[in-house]
Chains A and B, each alone.
Chain A
Amino acid sequence: AQSVTQLDSHVSVSEGTPVLLRCNYSSSYSPSLFWYVQHPNKGLQLLLKYTSAATLVKGINGFEAEFKKSETSFHLTKPSAHMSDAAEYFCVVSESMNRDDKIIFGKGTRLHILP
């Protein structure tokens, strides 16, 4: 069975400082992992995805994430936060088994950017 845990429900950082949003997962198979961002009143947008290629994945808007199998983690980072990064972030795990592409969302981390 697969699951995903986002360790922080809220994270606050000052503008210009690094961002770290933590995600741990469990999966019976080799999973695909994603980060999505949801801005208020907007649809979910894919930030980046890991699908068993390079373990360090670069996404849009300067975000990146590193897949660490030994730690079952897929933390999201950004070197320097911008005010526009304030949003809800979801870590997602997917196992593609036969015809069923099961996708499980974490509960989300709300990122606050302090001026």
Chain B
Amino acid sequence: DTGVSQDPRHKITKRGQNVTFRCDPISEHNRLYWYRQTLGQGPEFLTYFQNEAQLEKSRLLSDRFSAERPKGSFSTLEIQRTEQGDSAMYLCASSPKQGEETQYFGPGTRLLVL
């Protein structure tokens, strides 16, 4: 399968703990996006990368959130000092290049903060 993959698929953690999610985009896709989806809502944009450069961060991304894409391939999203409000599905998507708007989504990581 050469689609976007995410790991883990599910994560349960206690409030205050740190968590890290990984996303592997489709090979040679330059752009990588992170979204958050809560129940009953559409995905909300968090941040995106063009290769290794993080080009935009949403206001939804508080200081407790950080994302990296060090080699322009896979990306990690870390949440520090998790809060119950962080419980959501975290989606990753990739697209081939700037101007190619079609984004290909991974299955998501479902986070539950107790």
Question: What residues make up the interface of A, taking CB atoms closer than 8 Å to B?
Answer: 9, 32, 34, 36, 41-46, 49, 51, 90, 94, 96, 99-108
Contacts and interface: CB of A to CB of B under 8 A. Distances in A.
Interface in B10-56: 31, 33, 35, 40-45, 48, 50, 55-56
B40 A42 contact: no
Contacts of B56: 100
Interface in B69-97: 91, 93, 95
Contacts of A41: 107
B44 A101 contact: no
Contact of B101 (A42, A44, A101, A105): A101
Interface residues of B, number: 28
A46 B42 contact: no
Given A43-B4, A94-B101, A101-B48, 16 more contacts: A34-B102, A41-B107, A42-B107, A43-B3, A43-B106, A43-B108, A44-B93, A90-B42, A96-B98, A96-B99, A100-B56, A101-B95, A101-B99, A102-B45, A103-B33, A108-B40
A52 to B, nearest CB: 11
B61 to A, nearest CB: 15
